[in-house]
Amino acid sequence: MELQEFRRRGHELVDWMTDFLESIEQYPVKSKVAPGEILSQLPSRPPESSESFDTVFRDFQDIIMPGMTHWQHPSFFAYFPANSSPPSVLAEMLTATLGAQCMSWQTSPAATELEERVMDWLRDMIGLDDGFQGVIQDTASTSTLVSILTARERVTNYEANEHGLPRQSPLTLYCSSETHSSIEKDAKIAGIGRENIRFVEVDENYAMIPERLDEAIIADLRAGLVPCCVVATLGTTGSTAVDPLRSIGEICRRHDVWLHVDAALAGTALLLPQMRWMTDGLEYVDTFVFNPHKWMFTNFDCSAYFVRDREALTRTFEIHPEYLRTAEGRLVNNYRDWGIQLGRRFRALKLWFVIRTYGVAGIRDRVAKHLELAAEIAQRAQDAPDFELLAPAPLNTVCLRYHPTDIENTETLNALNEKLLETVNAGGEMYVTHTKLRGNYTIRFVVGQTNVERRHVEAGWDLIVRTARSLDTSAAKR
């Protein structure tokens, strides 16, 4: 493609992108295609000769767009937000245009130094103390893996990297039974082994019970195992629970066990001073992750990972082949040594654009509004005679279900709520997803879209209520 055409197409695409964002509410939130429908429209072989940009873009509109679920739709209340914003998208265009690899200082000094600066900003914005240093990883899954690997090296005195894991005294990892599935995946990858993960019991609010954690660590020590790492969660995915950091931290300190905090979604809420109760006990925390790519208006990927012991981190990941040696050495950060990937995208740029364009107050106001709207939904669910809350809702996720007073059977309620979820999603006006809490089918209503307004949330709630009350429950009652 000649640059003249690039210029013209670029302008056309930005127009298309703006039109799309302006009219996004006219699209169904959840794609309505059937499995295989997109694949069957794509040729099994790549074109041998050049196709015009018009043809490619027409196929994007005709084939790809119908198969998209619209995460930027203001009535997207499913899974978790992956909210984006115009400044983030514009910065991403620059990142792609520059196409730099940001693995060491020398491969783009500005990328490294901007990352260092915005990660300090971000740390201060969410109230972490300046004992932490930050680095951008691709996802929370990776950040947690990086933490577990660092904990593994620390507890084995950096022997596991050299000789592999010790057979005779396995390492153990602790998390609550409500922890995100990525923790189990990471522990497996790190060589801990699934059978050495202790899923600690939770209380009635789905938060880890510290006494159970203490008991589990003591039992493992007695059995000759080596407690390696505790993962505490702020804002569990299913139940939005907040593990009690201070008590957990005291236990970790007493047994000298590494403490990682997974705040992938909830970390953004720490922008608000009134939410800082979640990080009481921060002084015990070794590493902390949250995802600006979820709830901080920065498009995927951008996971903010903070570490206290930077030496332990780089000692775990450092590798020095001759072709990567540079004269600056230790004077600068070489982020290839701060994680798993060698090649790295210039992700700090979009964070910088977002933070400066909205200002910290602008971001905070939006997040406060999301929390307020979520609290209203929780209140409505609590007040409605035929709905109930299935977990406390301290954050932006509301766990609820339809529960007509004359139906008590769990299986029946589960089937009814599954039907409710399917019906509201099929209409395309909104999208919610589910989980199971103590065996109960639970609808999760998550408020976090960049442009979500009260009207979207109210329309979503009304649709759920209306649909629920129109479901045929006669079979259920018989």
Output the six-digit token pair for 254: 């007493």
- Cβ of residue 176: shortest distance to ligand PLP, in angstroms? 11
From 24-32, 54-62, 170-178, 258-266, give the range in contact with ligand PLP by CB under 6 A: 258-266
- Cβ of residue 241: shortest distance to ligand PLP, in angstroms? 10
Q: Which helix (H) or strand (E) holds 354?
A: helix 348-383
State how far the Cα of 36 lies from the Cα of 50, in Å rounded to an integer: 26
State how far the Cα of 410 lies from the Cα of 440, in Å rounded to an integer: 7
The packing angle between helices 210-222 and 245-255, to 10°, is 20
Task: Looking at 23-155, list the stretches that DSSP marks H as alpha helix, in order from N- to C-terminal side.
Answer: 53-59, 86-98, 109-125, 140-155
From 229-237, 422-430, 436-444, 461-469, give the range in contact with ligand PLP by CB under 6 A: 229-237
Q: Which of residues 63-82 bind ligand PLP (CB under 6 A)?
A: 80
Q: How far is CA 367 from CA 183, 292, 450, in A?
A: 26, 12, 9
The answer to the question of residue 237 lying near ligand PLP (CB under 6 A) is yes
CB 449 within 8 A of CB 21: no
Site string (79-118) toward ligand PLP, x via CB under 6 A: -x--------------------------------------
The answer to the question of residue 286 lying near ligand PLP (CB under 6 A) is no
Q: Which of 148, 173, 265, 464 binds ligand PLP (CB under 6 A)?
A: 265
- Cβ of residue 398: shortest distance to ligand PLP, in angstroms? 15
Q: Beta strands 197-200 and 171-176: pairing type? A: parallel
- Cβ of residue 122: shortest distance to ligand PLP, in angstroms? 16
Q: Which of 107, 112, 133, 141 binds ligand PLP (CB under 6 A)?
A: 141
Any idea what the Cα angle at residue 71 is, between residues 69 and 76, rounded to 5°? 100
From 117-125, 257-265, 327-335, 452-460, give the range in contact with ligand PLP by CB under 6 A: 257-265
Nearer CB in complex with ligand PLP: 139/417: 139
Q: Which of 108, 150, 233, 314 binds ligand PLP (CB under 6 A)?
A: 233
- Cβ of residue 195: shortest distance to ligand PLP, in angstroms? 22
Half-sphere exposure (CA, 13 Å, Cβ side) for 41?
A: 14
The answer to the question of residue 180 lying near ligand PLP (CB under 6 A) is yes
Query: Closest Cα to residue 71, out of 263, 299, 269, 262?
Result: 299
From 65-73, 121-129, 133-141, 242-250, give the range in contact with ligand PLP by CB under 6 A: 133-141
Strand partners for 175: 199
Nearer CB in complex with ligand PLP: 75/139: 139
State how far the Cα of 2 lies from the Cα of 9, in Å rounded to an integer: 11
Q: Beta strands 303-307 and 258-262: pairing type? A: unpaired
Q: Which of 220, 262, 286, 337 binds ligand PLP (CB under 6 A)?
A: 262
Nearer CB in complex with ligand PLP: 74/448: 448
For the beta carbon of residue 110, count every other beta carbon within 10 angstroms: 14
Nearer CB in complex with ligand PLP: 231/413: 231
For the beta carbon of residue 80, count every other beta carbon within 10 angstroms: 19
Give phi and psi for 80, each to the nearest 5: -155, 160
Strand partners for 171: 226
The answer to the question of residue 182 lying near ligand PLP (CB under 6 A) is yes
Nearer CB in complex with ligand PLP: 208/413: 208
State how far the Cα of 234 lies from the Cα of 32, in Å rounded to an integer: 34
The answer to the question of residue 279 lying near ligand PLP (CB under 6 A) is no
Residues at the contact surface with ligand PLP, assessed by CB under 6 A: 80, 139-141, 180, 182, 233, 235, 237, 262, 264-265, 291, 303
